[in-house]
């Protein structure tokens, strides 16, 4: 298991770590094999480029290491670790399912299990055959 000494851990922590490692292995099989990291794993970077260390990373003796279990994400020069146990964070292009919590003029507010409600503008909805969506609220 990645060379981690489990002798010092309690039984509960061992089980949690084993479960996290199994989840990481399943995720890394879908992605790159080197994309998953656990705490204190080294993250391979090119030190010639100026890199930015983001969430879930730290600098330890000149190398970038992970501070949590997750998947390494790279966006241009930013390197960060997307944690396994994080709240859903919607991104552009995601397909979401939500519950309408408020209908206001020209838009709906949707609960999508995020810290903020999503807003669906009725003018941006595309229906089949070019039918325009209109909403009449009383």
Per CATH, the number for 11-83 is: 2.40.50.100
Phi, psi of 105 (to 5 degrees): -60, 120
Check whether 33 has a pLDDT greater than 50: no
CA 106, distance to chain mean position in Å, is: 31
What's the pLDDT band for 30 if we cut at 50, 70, 90? low
Token pair, residue 103, equals 């209908």
Please, what sign has the CA dihedral across residues 52, 58, 60, 64? negative
Task: Give the pLDDT confidence of 72-109 residue by residue, as tens digits.
Answer: 888 888 888 888 776 777 777 777 778 889 988 888 88
In this prediction, residue 136 carries a pLDDT of 39
Token pair, residue 65, equals 């290491």
Cβ neighbour number for residue 125 with a 10 Å cutoff? 12
The CA distances from residue 136 to 35, 101, 103, 104, 107, in Å, are 49, 16, 10, 10, 11
Q: What pTM value is reported for the model? A: 0.46
**Domain locations in the chain?**
11-83, 88-138
Task: Give the pLDDT confidence of 53-66 residue by residue, as tens digits.
Answer: 888 899 888 888 98
């Amino acid at each position: 298991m990645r060379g981690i000494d489990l002798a010092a851990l309690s039984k509960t922590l061992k089980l949690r770590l084993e479960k996290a490692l199994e989840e990481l292995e399943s995720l890394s099989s879908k992605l790159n094999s080197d994309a998953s990291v656990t705490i204190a794993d080294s993250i391979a970077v090119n030190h010639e480029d100026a890199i930015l260390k983001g969430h879930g990373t730290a600098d330890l003796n000149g190398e970038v290491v992970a501070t949590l279990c997750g998947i390494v994400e790279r966006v241009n020069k930013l390197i960060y670790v997307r944690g396994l146990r994080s709240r859903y964070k919607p991104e552009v292009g995601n397909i979401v399912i939500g519950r309408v919590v408020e209908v206001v003029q020209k838009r709906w507010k949707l609960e999508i299990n995020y810290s903020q409600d999503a807003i669906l503008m009725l003018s941006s909805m595309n229906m089949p055959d070019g039918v325009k969506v209109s909403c009449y609220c009383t």
